[in-house]
Amino acid sequence: MKLNIMRFFVIMLVIMSCKQEAKDKPVAEPYKLQQTIYYGGDIITMAGDTPSYAEAVVQREGNIIFVGSKAEAMERFKGKAEEVNLKGKTMLPGFIDGHGHVFNVGLQAVSANLLPAPDGDGNSVAALQKILKDWIAKNQSFIDTTGWVIGFGYDDSQLDRYPTKEDLDAISTDVPIIIIHQSGHLSVVNSKGLEMVKYNADSKDPKGGKIRRMAGSSEPNGVLEEVAHFMVLLTGVLPNMTPDLQDEMLVKGQELYASFGYTTAQEGRSTPDGSATMERAAEKDAFILDVVSYVDILSNRKGADSKYNGKKYTNKYRVGGVKLNLDGSPQGKTAWLSHPYHIVPSGEPKDYHGYESMTDEEAYKHVADAYANNLQIMAHCNGDSAIDQYIKAVKKANAEFGNDDRRTIIIHAQTAREDQLDSFVEEKIWPSFFPMHTFYWGDYHVNSVLGKERAYKISPTHTALQKGLKFTSHHDAPVALPSSIRVLSATVTRKSRSGQIIGPDERVTAFEGLKALTDWAAYQHFEEDTKGTIEKGKAADFVILDKNPLKIDPSELENLQVMETIKYGKSIYKS
Contact present, 318 and 209 (Cβ < 8 Å): no
Contact present, 65 and 58 (Cβ < 8 Å): yes
pLDDT tens by residue, 458-482: 999 999 999 999 999 999 999 989 9
Give dist(CA 571, CA 209) in Å, integer.
44
Its CATH class, for the domain covering 121-240, is alpha beta
> Quick one: which of 421, 409, 411 has its CA closest to 525?
409
- DSSP string for 82-130: EEEE-TT-EEEEPEE-SS-BHHHHHHHHHSEE---TTT-S--SHHHHHH
Query: Residue 18 pLDDT > 80, yes or no?
Result: no
Question: What integer is the mean pLDDT of 104-122?
Answer: 91
Q: Do domains 121-240 and 243-574 have the same CATH topology?
A: no
Among the listed ranges 102-106, 235-239, 295-299, 405-409, which one has the minimum average pLDDT value? 235-239
pLDDT at 3: 44
Strand stretches in 304-419, DSSP E? 317-325, 376-381, 408-412
Query: Residue 15 pLDDT > 90, yes or no?
Result: no
pLDDT tens by residue, 327-376: 999 999 999 999 999 999 988 999 999 999 999 999 999 999 999 999 99
3-state secondary structure 124-185: CHHHHHHHHHHHHHHCHHHHHHHCCEEEEEECHHHCCCCCCHHHHHCCCCCCCEEEEECCCC
Among the listed ranges 18-27, 60-69, 207-216, 450-459, which one has the minimum average pLDDT value? 18-27
Contact present, 114 and 153 (Cβ < 8 Å): yes
Residues 6+ apart with CB under 8 A from 185: 225, 226, 229, 328, 329, 332, 334
Kindly report the number of other CB atoms within 10 A of residue 141's CB atom: 8
Select the more confidently predicted residue: 386 or 22.
386
Question: Domain 243-574: what homologous superfamily?
Answer: Metal-dependent hydrolases (3.20.20.140)
pLDDT tens by residue, 393-403: 999 999 999 99
Is residue 507 helix, strand or coil? coil
Question: What integer is the mean pLDDT of 448-463?
Answer: 98
CA distances to 23, 37, 422, 518, 554 from 70, in Å = 43, 9, 45, 24, 30
Angle at which helices 243-259 and 102-110 cross, to 10°: 100
> Quick one: which of 469, 458, 461, 490 has its CA closest to 558?
490
Give dist(CA 14, CA 17) in Å, integer.
5
pLDDT at 10: 43
Give dist(CA 67, CA 70) in Å, integer.
9
Give the pairing type, strands 209-213 and 220-225. antiparallel
Give dist(CA 82, CA 565) in Å, integer.
17
Domain ranges of the chain: 121-240, 243-574
For residue 1, name the pLDDT band (cuts at 50, 70, 90).
very low
Mean pLDDT taken over the chain: 94
Query: Residue 4 pLDDT > 80, yes or no?
Result: no
State pTM to two decimals. Answer: 0.90
User: What b-and-e string marks burial along 450-464, b requiring 16 or more CB atoms within 10 Å of the CB?
Assistant: bbeebbbbbbbbbbb
Question: What integer is the mean pLDDT of 160-174?
Answer: 97
Query: Residue 211 pLDDT > 70, yes or no?
Result: yes
